[in-house]
Structure 1
Amino acid sequence: MSDTVLADDTAARPFGALRRRLLDAAAAFADGPGALTGILTGIVDDVDRALRQELEVFPVCHHSPASALAMARRLRDKRPEVVYLELCEDLRPLLPELRNCRLPVALQAFSTEIEGFPPEAGPLSVIAPITEASAEYQAIAYALDTPGVELVLVDHPVDHVFQQIFREGPAGGRRPRSDGEGAAGPDAASPEESAALHGDAVGVRIGDLRPGFAELEEHLLRHGKVRHWSEWWDQYVEQPLAGADYDTYRQVMVMIGSLFRRLRPADPARLARDEERERHMWTRMREHLAATGADPARCLYVCGAFHAASRVEQFGLAADAPPYEIPPRTGTRWRYGLIPSSHSAIEAQFGLAAGSVSIAEATWAKAVARGGVAPFRLKGQQGTTRKRRTPASRRPDPAGSATTSEDRLSGFLATPPKPDALDEAELIGWCVDIVRLARRNGYLAGTADAIAVYETSVLLAGLRGRARPTPYDFQDAAVTCIEKDTVPGRRDVRRLCEILLGGDRVGQVGYDALPPLARDVYDRLAPLGLDLQKRTIQRALLDLGARPELGPCSDVLWMLRYLLPDDAVRLIMGERRLGERSIQESWDVAIGRHQRSIIELGYEGVTLEQVVEKRLRKAAWAPDATAATALAAVEDAINHLGGGRVTEELGMRAVALLAAERTVDDAPEVLRRIRELLAYHRSRGALPAWCEAFVTTGYAQYCTLLPSAFADEDTGVRQVAAMLGFLLTMESLALSLGCDRAQLELAVRQSHPHEPAKTALLWAAQYRLGMISRKELRSRCAELLDNPLVVPAFPRYLSGLVQALEPVPELVPIVVETLSKAFGRLPDPVLLPWLPRLITTLREQAGELVPLLVREAERTFPGSLAALDAWVPPWAAPPAPAVPAPAASPAIGPAAQLLAAHPQACHAAAVLLGCDGDRREGGAAAELVSRHPATADAVAALFTPIPAR
């Protein structure tokens, strides 16, 4: 009895016949009611529920020509007064700026000032691409150009999008999967470049229709005789629905959305995310209707087909569920704008097959050209030269504005699609054009290939059960008939077909829609005479000597080179260093290709100088910042901003970072940069306060860390050499600023290295500070060669001595002498295995200092082969006998007086002139006076004459 009542009730409902047929099919194939029955009848219930809503629900698919055609027809028939659109609600102010752009472009929300999200996740970016062949663009164009129509975006704001992503994990939705079968071929240049237009932004779109089960998708592809999902969708959804009436389109789209919603893996996180979005959208629509008093019958809700089959309790205006409490936003500051997009970027962002968006665009253009529908286009839209029909020119059709809930699915599912006659003219045109393109790209193609492509396209369409060849059939036929074993150029035949069928159209943001910083860049570069909107690489030649008015353009290019990717502005000729400016510069400018990067700079500041300053501060105050990075920021501030207050702040930050460092890993870079900065400021006058503070802080810091650096095995020889270079080469400046030399001497005495290279460095430091004499240093080097156990490690000792040449340049003759003795005394069985290690050690650890040894050897050794036999090394020559001079001799009187008054200065001058001796006894100075009296008197004459006592 109950079954009879249920059957009668089912038959009385709008989709009763379809339900009964599905129940019978489920009973036949599943041996009785069960899960299959629930799924099939649930799909019909979802369709019935969506159609019975007082607020009309318009289901769409992202970038679908069928959805765009149905949207254009429905908007002209119904003329709604309010359009609710599934799109981030905080992107609404950007929509009028679409008039100033050439599609495709993307709405973007960007943030570098992150609060409430993981700091390491920034910068955060969300994009929503817009193409002409999309239902959302038709709704936007209708609403913006029709007086009295309100467009309301009802989806989650951008902040909530990232709240959901980080709630599920950092990888939640960052990069969707892609169709592996649709990958592009060898044409890697332009597709990859345009595919990178979105960067790593999170993409949002209307209507993500795709099976959740990989097995289901594979089943559909196999039985549909297609390669990837985009082709299946075009063949079995787009083409049949392109000419369908509105009620059929609507029911089919809701049915597909319900099917994919029910046939998906049980993922609680994804289900919660989808339902939270749906609750948010229905809450926003109810709030708007309550606030404005709009008639729901004159409204239209545009959403993805997936959300049209929603089962949340807030679905529909008649639902009595409690209101949904919208969570608060974080403190993140979002900046909004438009960025250029492209077909390849959309495909890469949303996992579509390569060329699918271009084919959809071609399908849309063909449908519009056939007539029967007048699309909406924004007034003043760039790149739309076709005539448009004014939306207000047609009065609403009362008959067309009404929809029916009667069953259209049964007829659509039971009736095969109407065969579409073969368009021979179109197919012939494709075949001729692909042969022409192939010949231009190096293929040996001709008329026979065009005929073969035509016949193969028809054959493939027949094998796949299609009434006419689709662009995918033509693509396969062209690859089969034209492409040979190798690709002669950059583009393969598949890529040529994509170009032929529409190409990778790249959008552009107009000047009026750019942020202030981007407009400022365009204005400041205007004197160069370049068309910065072009996507080609343009050469800019700047003769700053003849045209000094181009100096500001040069400043802008250098700042863009610092801020943008390397290929946006590429320096060909010219240099900008501390205190140096080029007279002539040459640049390759490709700003048109990197318009997105320039626009995102506008989210960080109003001018380039402000963005450069923020980037420098961010680098200097980063958690992992070091003194070297702060000094690099100081150098960049001088080069790009001219110094000033920013330089002082960055310099003091470098001082603070240096004082806080407990390692010396960056000592070589610190030494190099501070030397350049000191030389620059000395050329300009007095040193700034931060430079003096850096020298005194560095002197005290490195003196403190020197003993531990000598003993630490993890600290390299180059780092210790750089520390000694800082301490020894800046000793005079540090002492003049109040540092104590005893601190350095104490640090050297406390150092006890174990490695050979560091031991040699310690010897050099002791020699430089006068703790050991030259004679003692020579004897230590000689002991290394006399000890057979130490000879294998001699290259490491030598590496340490070479590393010390920069802070102690007077070691160059000793190193050359030691090397010469090694080559002269070591036997071949020891020298030959030892030589490769010596070369590799010097090249790896002291490659830039080897030229000093080469120049010293050139001065020491004879210049001809004949003189080599009679040549005696200076270190092997017997010392000349000392000739004592009379004390009262006037020739040595000034030198003797100088020696008596200034023994340390005389000793240093004598060592530089090649004399040796014990410093404590004044031996080197006495040797100079005795052996070279004239030279001694000349040195004494450089000083103030000392009156005889």
Structure 2
Amino acid sequence: MTAGAAQTRIFGIRHHGPGSARSLRLALERFRPDAILIEGPADADPLVGYVAAADMSPPVALLAYQPDEPARAAFWPYAGFSPEWQALRYAAEHGVEVGFCDLPAAITLAVTDEPGDRTDPLGLLAAAGGYDDAERWWDAIVESSSDADIFDAVHEAMAALRESAVEAGDATGESEESERDPITIDTHTLRREAHMRQVMRKTLKDGAQRLAVVCGAWHTPALSGKLGPAVADTRLLKGLPKVKTTLTWVPWTHSRLASGSGYGAGITSPGWYQHLFTETEQPIVRWLTKVAGTLRQHDLPVSSAHIIESVRLADTLATLRGRPLPGLSEVTEATRAVLCDGDETMLALVSRELVVGEALGSVPDGTPTVPLEADLRAQIRTLRLKLEALERTVDLDLRTERDMAKSRLLHRLRLLGIAWGRRTASEVRGTGTFRETWKLQWQPELAVAVVEASRWGTTLRTAAEAKILDQVNQPDAAVQEVAAALDAALLADLSDAIDGLIVRLESVAALDHDVTHLLAALPDLLRTLRYGDVRSTDTAALARVTDGLLVRVCAGLPSAVTGLDADAAADLRTRLDAVHLALAARNDEWANESWLAALRALADRDDVNGGLVGRAVRLLCDAEIIDAAESAQRLSAALSVGRTAGDKAAWIDGFLGGRGLLLVHDRNLLGLINSWLCGLEEPDFVAILPLLRRTFGEFESGVRQSIAQAVRHGATTAARASAATDYDTERGVIALRAAIEILRGTA
């Protein structure tokens, strides 16, 4: 089209279409524009220069956010096969002026209540062509070939659709007279197109002679032809709200381009489109070879003959359907029938790893960003970490300086709500406190999380310290929350926050008289005391607070265990276990003696829930304060006449508590429990059966089998009988000497 001496060409494309991208490159080479406008936020023009950087690698996205409210953000993603990205690359390679022409992000973020485009023009054209899937239609008609003249046909099709379209305000009357709802152009779309025309006018006025406009195919009729006066467009755009925004480039992923991720302009097969764009020679053969390689990696037997037959089947299906080349539907059916033998699970694997695929782009270090992100990038580079879209497991040995630094970085990010890493159980056997295992996976939306966290500070360390202190200084902060925050601060090496956290812990603990709260806080504090050895952290100040809490817990435990129902007793029992385990790991003589004395007092009471008493006895037995004979005596007393069946079952549950191996080795205890069970009346047995089933169900299968075998063969009686038998010491000494001589090899 012409405007005076200038020429303007409108190229209607499908966002993220490889065929559109190749056709656009051919069309631009033929048209040779001196200015290019691209559908995208107009206030992102200052970022165009970064496209030519050597370390700018798609997929990437333009990110716009409000500095004072970073959660309000918007993304404009581009893959290597996106026509818009190819237009940007063409401009960079040929020195052509390029910019964006859509509504600025400042308006887009302000007008959040505007509905999106409700019309799917490709769906209408696909239905007219006999397709039930718009993407399959576009794939077959456009993406399977490269033709610079395709844009005229696309424009003609869209113009025909828009002739019958109505604007949003006029849709009601039309729908009453039509059998189906009309094609509607909403107000937001009209405003976007008005802004595009305004930018086109300005570009032509600035001297452009050959203007190329790259936009979604649906907009081409609104931008083609003579632009005319700007009065109507100015009126439509007048008074639109704006907010202060900041824009930058961020890495993106193929999975976030997929429509399944919730992206409005998403595609179902970014991995397939990337393949079509990069593999121009024999794309079907190369694709099915890649599929075969993926299946082989999962130990599936796929031969060259399978690949040949799948290619033939895909070509045959395309011929039968009258298509010039096999598309994704034909390739998928060939994959299912030949390579996967009809197995939908394997087909889903191919779809996930190849059809959608995964790739994470990168942006130059000089890209505009908040100081916090700059610090994150610098630390990632120093520690030789890598942002990856696929989940990766990392084992850290905290005895090495580099792994310790990685651990601190990941803990600081977690405190700031930047979930790049997730702690998980280590798969390495024999690990201790010197080892950590993390699952790392970078998601594009974490870029927004970094911006949100930047309000706390300019570096990861200062930001994490400021945030954690702010959290614990809230009026409703509980002692357990402060203790957990202190534990996290030591893991993240936030030394400047430690003193403030300890002071806050002392003040909160002094006002909290609930022993259950203090019990809940103790395990974190006791674990924290171990980090002085592993992390070279000074925890002397924390020991005073922890010991003070332990004294208060031991003093308040007698009243805390009184009058508890079954649920409250079970909860308190879990807390007792956690404190006991943490104290054992600390291995402090005074603390252990104080705690065991409190447990001894609990074990001697008969007015407390049986589950708590039984657990106290078991913990004392494990600590070798109570021997096997006393344990059996206490169990016998707990099962004596005068107690209810439910209380007896609770005592056994507390005493055993998932540790059935004790009954395998101590047949005396097993005999006592077996005799009690055999003597129960039917109503009592039915009443306590759920609790007993839970108790014994927690045992490992091998332990249960050993217990059942011992009871079945009367081993409990034999054990009691053998216990009364005198041993022949002299014969035993002879046997021991013979065994020693054999082991020494002197026999």
What TM-score results when the alignment is normalised by the length of structure 2?
0.62
1:233-252: CA deviation from partner (whole Å, max 9, x where unpaired): 12245568834265444333
Cα deviation for residue 551 of structure 1 reads 0.7
Task: Name 2:350's counterpart in structure 1.
Answer: 495
The CA deviation at 1:629 is 3.3
Correspondence for 1:464: 321
Question: Equivalent residue of 1:59, what SS?
Answer: strand
Deviations 1:138-173 (A, max 9, x none): 332344455572524533417844852xx48xxx98
Structure 1 residue ranges without an equivalent (≥5): 1-47, 116-121, 174-206, 370-424, 545-549, 731-743, 765-777, 804-815, 848-860, 872-949
- The CA distance in 1 between the partners of 2:196 and 2:554, in whole Å, is 61
Tell me how far apart the structure 2 counterparts of residues 687 and 85 of structure 1 sit (CA, whole Å): 62
For 1:508, what is the secondary structure of its paired residue?
coil
Task: Indicate which of 327, 334, 341 corresponds to 2:241.
Answer: 327
Count, aligned residues: 636
Q: Structure 1 residues 698 and 721, CA, compared in 2 at 3 Å: closer, same or farther?
A: farther
Q: Structure 2: which 5+ residue stretches go unaligned?
A: 176-182, 368-372, 584-597, 619-631, 658-665, 701-715, 727-747
Partner of 2:17: 64
Residues 263, 601 of structure 1: alpha-carbon distance in 2 compared, 3 angstrom cutoff: closer
Partner in structure 1 of residue 61 of structure 2: 107
The 1:209/1:71 distance shift into structure 2, 3 A limit, reads farther
Question: Which residue of the partner structure matches residue 869 of structure 1?
Answer: 724
The 3-state SS of whatever aligns with 2:102 is strand
Aligned match of 1:484? 341
Change (3 A) 1:80 1:706: farther
Q: What is the RMSD of the two structures over their aligned residues, measured on CA atoms? A: 6.5
Question: Structure 1: how far apart are the matches of 2:273 and 2:473?
Answer: 49
Residue from 137, 140, 152 that aligns with 1:235: 140
Residue in structure 2 matched with residue 149 of structure 1 by the alignment: 97
Equivalent residues of 1:58, 1:300 under 8 A apart: yes
Shift of 1:210: 2.9
Which residue in the other structure is 1:904 paired with?
none
Structure 1 residue 303 displacement after superposition: 3.0
| Structure 2 CA distance for partners of 1:618 and 1:795, relative to 1, 3 Å | farther
Instruction: Tell me if the contact between 2:16 and 2:267 (Cα under 8 Å) persists in the aligned partners.
Output: no
What is the distance in 2 between the residues matched to 1:629 and 1:55? 64
Matches within 5 A, 1:67-86: 67-69=20-22, 71-72=24-25, 75-76=28-29, 82-86=35-39
* Equivalent in 50, 57, 65 of residue 97 of structure 1: 50
How far apart are the structure 1 equivalents of 2:721 and 2:54?
Answer: 82
Partner residue, 1:521: 379
Normalization by structure 1: what TM-score? 0.51
Task: Measure, in 1, the Cα distance between the counterparts of 2:538 and 2:330.
Answer: 75
Residues 282 and 533 from structure 1, CA distance in 2 versus in 1: closer, same or farther, beyond 3 angstroms? same
- The residue number in structure 1 matching 2:482 is 630
**Secondary structure, in 3 states, of the residue corresponding to 2:341?**
coil
Aligned match of 2:401 in 536, 546, 551? 551
Greater shift after overlay, 699-708 or 556-565?
A: 699-708
1:127 aligns with 2:75: yes
Higher radius of gyration, 1 or 2:
1
CA distance in 2, matches of 1:493, 1:846: 38
Alignment correspondent of 2:680:
830
The equivalent of 1:646 in structure 2 is 497
* Separation in structure 2 between the aligned mates of residue 537 and residue 721 of structure 1, nearest angstrom: 33
Of residues 566, 572, 596, the one that matches 1:719 is 572
Aligned partners of 2:110, 2:566: CA distance in 1, in Å? 46
Cα 1:141/1:551, change in 2 over 3 Å? same
How far residue 509 of structure 1 moved from its aligned partner, in angstroms, is 1.0
Amino acid corresponding to residue 218 of structure 2 in structure 1: F
Q: Contact (CA 8 Å) 1:143, 1:149: kept in 2 or not?
A: yes
Change over 3 Å in CA distance of 1:103–1:794 after alignment to 2: same
Q: Per the alignment, in what secondary structure is the counterpart of residue 49 of structure 2? A: helix
**Structure 1 613/152 Cα, relative in aligned 2: closer, same or farther at 3 Å?**
same
> How far is the alpha carbon of 1:78 from its aligned partner?
5.6
- Residue identity over aligned pairs, in percent, reads 15
Aligned pairs for 1:361-760 within 5 A: 361=274, 363-364=276-277, 442-443=300-301, 445=303, 447=305, 450=308, 453-454=311-312, 456-470=313-327, 472-486=329-343, 492=347, 495=350, 504=357, 506-509=359-362, 512=365, 515-526=373-384, 544=399, 550-560=400-410, 563=414, 564-565=419-420, 582=434, 594=442, 596=444, 603=451, 604=453, 607-610=459-462, 612-613=464-465, 616=468, 620=472, 626-641=478-493, 643-654=494-505, 668-677=519-528, 688=541, 692=545, 695=548, 699=552, 710=563, 715-719=568-572, 722=575
Task: Give, as a single letter, the amino acid of the residue that structure 1 aligns with 2:647.
Answer: A
Deviation of 1:306 (Å) = 3.0
Q: Counterpart of 1:228 in structure 2: which amino acid?
A: D
Residue pair 1:347, 1:353 contacting (<8 A) in 2 also: yes
Match of 1:276 in 2: 188
Counterparts in 2 of 1:521 and 1:570: CA distance versus 1, 3 Å: farther
SS in 1 for 2:359: coil
CA distance in 1, matches of 2:358, 2:538: 56
Shift in Å, 1:87: 1.7
3-state secondary structure, aligned to 1:638: helix
Structure 2 SS opposite 1:63: coil
Q: Secondary structure at the match of 1:647?
A: helix
Q: Secondary structure at the match of 1:326?
A: coil
Distance 2:170 2:478 in 1: 48
Q: Which residue of 2 aligns with 1:922?
A: none
1:88 and 2:53 equivalent? no
State the Cα distance separating 1:555 from its structure 2 match: 1.9
Preserved contact between residue 50 and residue 364 of structure 2 (Cα < 8 Å): no
Determine the C-alpha separation between the residues in 2 that align with 1:702 and 1:86. 71
Measure, in 1, the Cα distance between the counterparts of 2:93 and 2:575: 69
- 1:782 CA drift (Å): 9.2
In structure 2, do the counterparts of structure 1 residues 710 and 559 end up closer, same or farther at CA, with 3 Å as the change threshold? farther
| 1:132 partner letter | G
Secondary structure of 2:120 counterpart: coil
CA distance in 2, matches of 1:505, 1:724: 44
Q: Please give the alpha-carbon distance, in whole angstroms, between the structure 2 residues aligned to 1:494 and 1:49.
A: 51
For 1:375-405, what per-residue CA distance to the aligned partner results, in whole angstroms no more than 9, with x for missing partners?
xxxxxxxxxxxxxxxxxxxxxxxxxxxxxxx
Name the counterpart of 2:178. Answer: none
Cα displacement string for residues 726-777 of structure 1 (whole angstroms, at most 9, x for unaligned residues)? 99x99xxxxxxxxxxxxx9xxx9xx99996657999999xxxxxxxxxxxxx
1:698 to 1:619, Cα distance in 2 relative to 1, 3 A: farther
Amino acid in structure 2 at the alignment position of 1:133: F
Against the structure 1 CA distance between its residues 597 and 365, is the aligned structure 2 distance closer, same or farther, given a 3 Å change threshold?
closer
